[in-house]
Structure 1
Amino acid sequence: MRTSFAEALQRQEGAPDLSRATGASWPSRLTSFADLCEDKAAEADEHSRVHSDIAAALSTLGILTAPLPWQAGGAGLAEASNWSKLLDALRTIGAADLSIGRLFEGHANAIDLVRRYGTDSQFQTLAHAIGNGAMTGVWGADGKNPLQLSKVSDGWLLQGGKILASGIGLVIKPLVTAGSEEGQRLIMLTLEPRERADLSSWTPLGMQSSATGSVDLTGMVVSEACLIGKPGDFTRQPYFSGGAWRFCAVHLGGMQRLVDLYREQLLLRRRGDDPYQLQRVVACVAAAGTAAFWIRAAARQLALRSTEAEKSVALSNVARGITERAALDIMETVQRGSGLPSFIRPSPLERIVRDLGTYLRQPMPDLAMADAARFALANAAPIKDMWNFDEDQLLS
């Protein structure tokens, strides 16, 4: 019987918490990385690429290894008990550069998937590669030629490819989804930078420096050791939908940075006493705070109460909808309050609005909110008891 890394880890005793694993250095490393991302964001956006200094810092500052458990040389950000620290990392990097936040979120997601569904050997292989500077991510979007997997004499043959694959050139250990006779499978690949990749089709309004493109994997043959978990594991609930809080946390960082930049501009222009601007500021602060509350609630629910699968999924879906609405309101309000300067490059306001508006376009937002509504209608508990909003929720 295959034993997952997560199951093996549960049998170990004496695992230290984040502070023992990394000391006080992790917050400072995160701050240094975020400062670098923000400093290079305009240049990266102009040239539509991940800046070389950022690519180097991902490894040298230990950002790539941070989601790994301490036993694998990481900072334990993916541990359930450290959910708030992962949230803070996603938010902090998102505030600095949403494109890099997108890549880090996918990296953390892939690590969690292999740890959850893979074998000990598979996870150790991934952890070793990450320790040597490799980035991972999840490439799940199919285009006109969906990726398919079929058995051949020397392994498994891939036909087709993936689209909207972020991190091309950096992600050399991607997790890809592929259809098969048994159902959807997860496959861990090893690629050379930009191998089989085409970035020419990535011409979005925002998120230009996320290194997103298509990958043609036709003809690749992989071994049994590359297949992660069982058929259907990728979409297994509550982790598939419940994990949406992670990209919402990156969105939150972008929103909060927009509000901070807006406040700075008003103070610099000495318009802080304008009654209309005061109204706009408080609306932005309230919207960002509301989104933060729901994202935090969804993250905590999935980490600590994942056995309540329907509640975890519903709460994450609500957080998704609230985050999108808050972001759209903040973007409009900041643009109205800042005027023409927020539409002129290289203003960070202009760039963040473009990036956030593009990144918000996640799959099936209406269906997510409809599913959350169905949960609320089917639940017999009063609203005050439905989501476990207690003091521990707010303070932990």
Structure 2
Amino acid sequence: METTIPAPSNGQKTGTPVELDSRRMADLLKRIAEAAAQTDDDKLFPTDAFGWLAEAGLLGITLADDKTGKQPLGTDQLLQLLKRIGAANLSVGRIYEGHINALNLIDLYASPDQKREWFADVKKHKRLFSVWNTQAGDGVKIQAVGDGRYRLEGAKTFCSGAGWIQRPLITGELVGGSQKGWQMCIIPTERVKDVQQDDRFWQPLGMRSSVSYRIDFTGIEIEQADLLGQPDDYYRQPYFSGGAIRFAAVQLGGAEALFDATRTYLASMKRTDDVFQRTRLAEMTWLIESGNQWLTAAGTKTDAWQASGGQADKIVTYANMTRTAIEEICLRVMPLAERSVGARGLMRPLPFERIHRDLTFYLRQPAPDATLLDVGRYVTDNQLDAYELWR
């Protein structure tokens, strides 16, 4: 099942993060964007893009320094990175965000020995992680079979990265032992039998190269050391809902890509002097910048509230507001861009058509109405005035 990330082709040392505002970063993102159309297919994974990310040291960008223990990025910086990768290719951004999510869960819940092993998978072996939680009626059960071993039964859907992920973090109902609940585990793909992939499941409008297949784990056997955390840790707040700011950042990157594609197309048609086009571009500009302000605030406030402790409800509510606001921003940017480029701009090989499809599909995240209701519950139950609510 394991697919190897390509080794660097230019002799550069791997594992060292690039400076996020450097020319190397800009060149990397340009390469990812230029290659996006080549993998716009239900069965093609953006292998080259992840080889470049590995080469740049970005697979382990969130891992603490081995010697100092220092975290390399604040949450606001991470969100900007996710946004920029999403702007280059939303499918790459989605898979990369899943990788970052898995590493975050390991950092929260793994034992020291597990952290050493799994973080070495990233730093030394450039392996990709992801989080696969979504399932239908035939969802995963993790059956204890004795002697510290477990047998899996059932399938996951929307498994982004599918067979190209070497360390999928999956969840399932833990049964048959002394413990019960919703358990995380990480599958060592090269040490278990091949899983069954159903690529027929994946026939989406957009995000094609995220190759989010249905995967049946029935018959896979794992060990105690492959279990992550305790039952039901996965849903602990604020980490579960608070992570929504990461996919919101990737989505905002899609809106930025639409803006850039629109402006480039209008310039090529010599339409940038048109007063109506300038008005639409102006509206897109302030909408996107308001999204950037949401990301900055969400990142800095999340770090501050986590450091102070006891702020889980506030973190979750602010994350819910951020994802809601950015979804609305994207939904407003998209028709403005459509009207600007017209039918001719919506045709391949121009990038607008692909970006529009990808963003339309990626915006369909779970439980948007419940998310908004949770915000309403928080502000009605909390008696602080508006000025004090988010301080």
TM bin, normalised by shorter chain, reads 0.7 to 0.9
Which consecutive residues of structure 1, in runs of 5 or more, have no partner in the other structure? 1-20, 389-396
Report the counterpart of residue 176 of structure 1 in structure 2: 170
Alignment of 1:384 onto 2:384: no
Alignment of 1:141 onto 2:134: yes
Q: 1:139 to 1:73 in 2, by over 3 A?
A: farther
**Cα deviations across residues 285-309 of structure 1 (Å, max 9, x unaligned)?**
1211222222222222222212311
Cα displacement (A) at 1:52 = 3.5
Alignment of 1:109 onto 2:104: no
2:90·2:250 contact (CA, 8 Å) conserved in 1? yes
Report the counterpart of residue 110 of structure 2 in structure 1: 118
2:167·2:188 contact (CA, 8 Å) conserved in 1? yes
Which consecutive residues of structure 2, in runs of 5 or more, have no partner in the other structure? 1-15
- Bigger relative contact order, structure 1 or 2 (CA pairs below 8 A, ≥6 apart): 2
TM-score, structure 1 length as denominator? Answer: 0.87
TM-score, structure 2 length as denominator? Answer: 0.88
Cα displacement (A) at 1:22 = 5.0
Report the counterpart of residue 227 of structure 2 in structure 1: 227
1:272·1:278 contact (CA, 8 Å) conserved in 2? yes
**Cα deviations across residues 181-234 of structure 1 (Å, max 9, x unaligned)?**
411011011114974322221110100011210111111121111111111111
Q: 1:387 to 1:138 in 2, by over 3 A?
A: same
Cα displacement (A) at 1:26 = 8.0
Structure-2 separation of matches of 1:75 and 1:214: 38
Residue in structure 2 matching 1:50, options 45, 59, 65: 45
1:137·1:175 contact (CA, 8 Å) conserved in 2? yes
What code does the residue aligned with 2:155 have? G
1:82-93 equivalences in 2 (<5 Å): 82-93=74-85
1:156-175 equivalences in 2 (<5 Å): 156-175=150-169
Q: 1:47 to 1:378 in 2, by over 3 A?
A: closer
Residue in structure 2 matching 1:61, options 56, 60, 66: 56
Match of 2:144, SS? strand
Report the counterpart of residue 318 of structure 2 in structure 1: 315
Structure-2 separation of matches of 1:93 and 1:186: 27
**Cα deviations across residues 126-165 of structure 1 (Å, max 9, x unaligned)?**
1111120210010000122110112112411211011100
Cα displacement (A) at 1:46 = 4.4
Structure-2 separation of matches of 1:204 and 1:233: 31
Match of 1:169, SS? helix
1:258·1:349 contact (CA, 8 Å) conserved in 2? yes
Match of 2:206, SS? coil
Match of 1:352, SS? helix
Structure-1 separation of matches of 2:297 and 2:115: 29
Number of equivalences: 365
Structure-2 separation of matches of 1:91 and 1:317: 17
Cα displacement (A) at 1:72 = 8.1
Alignment of 1:71 onto 2:66: yes
CA RMSD, aligned part only? 2.2
Cα displacement (A) at 1:54 = 1.8
Alignment of 1:304 onto 2:304: yes
Match of 2:40, SS? helix
Report the counterpart of residue 127 of structure 1 in structure 2: 119
> Structure 1 residues 291-300 or 197-206, which shifts more?
291-300
Report the counterpart of residue 188 of structure 1 in structure 2: 186
Residue in structure 2 matching 1:324, options 306, 322, 327: 327
Structure-2 separation of matches of 1:165 and 1:74: 32
Structure-1 separation of matches of 2:70 and 2:92: 19
What code does the residue aligned with 2:46 have? H
Q: 1:22 to 1:201 in 2, by over 3 A?
A: closer
Cα displacement (A) at 1:57 = 1.8
**Cα deviations across residues 241-263 of structure 1 (Å, max 9, x unaligned)?**
01100001111111112112212
Cα displacement (A) at 1:106 = 0.5
Structure-2 separation of matches of 1:213 and 1:126: 24
What code does the residue aligned with 2:331 have? L
2:18·2:56 contact (CA, 8 Å) conserved in 1? no
**Cα deviations across residues 55-77 of structure 1 (Å, max 9, x unaligned)?**
42232222212222221899945
Q: 1:52 to 1:264 in 2, by over 3 A?
A: same
